[in-house]
Structure 1
Amino acid sequence: MSGPDLPAPDQPFDIDAWQYRWPSGTEKAELYDGVLVFSGKFDERDIPTAQGAFPGRHIVLNDSGGIEIHPAGKTPPRSIFETFIERLAQRENNPLR
């Protein structure tokens, strides 16, 4: 886990909570193929905060510790980076596509 727990709702933030928790701990925010990607060192404690900010969407904590905000759907999402790796592999196997 990176950083401290969030403070209780009636307690102020300290610099560590501000620096390491989502969304203020975001190092970079990007949009990949319709998926918001917040780079940082997050963990499962940040998922409920992201769910509250983006209700109804799927939240993925990727292998790099980033948080991805996916559109709602019936199947659980997987990291957008896994999808890109598969697409690259398909292009290598089918270069004319």
Structure 2
Amino acid sequence: MPGPLTGCPDGHGTDAWVLLFTRDFDERDATTARRTYPGRRVLVNADRNLEVHPAGRGLPRSLLDR
């Protein structure tokens, strides 16, 4: 499955990296990713790519919104 590791610009270590998977994903894929990456925050962005963000509070901000 294609998808590079994308670093966060906030200066955190590797725990702050975002996994970005490109394809036509939907909420079913996000549900699977939440089970695969427990404790991480998962979202499907406006381009329908899947983003797996580090653990944290609240909803993650999409890479497209940065």
- Same-fold call, TM > 0.5? yes
1:31 and 1:81 mapped to 2: Cα distance? 15
Match of 1:37 among 8, 12, 20: 20
Scaled by the length of structure 2, what TM-score is found? 0.78
Deviations 1:7-30 (A, max 9, x none): xxxxxxxxxxxxxxxxxxx4x211
Scaled by the length of structure 1, what TM-score is found? 0.55
Match of 1:69 among 44, 52, 58: 52
Q: Which runs of 5+ in 1 are unaligned?
A: 1-25, 84-97
Structure number with greater CO (CA < 8 Å, separation at least 6) is: 2
Segments of 4+ moved more than 3 angstroms? none
Question: Percent identity of the aligned residues?
Answer: 40
Q: Which runs of 5+ in 2 are unaligned?
A: 8-16
- SS of 1:69 mapped into structure 2: strand
Other-structure match for 2:38: 55
Which one has a bigger Cα radius of gyration?
A: 1
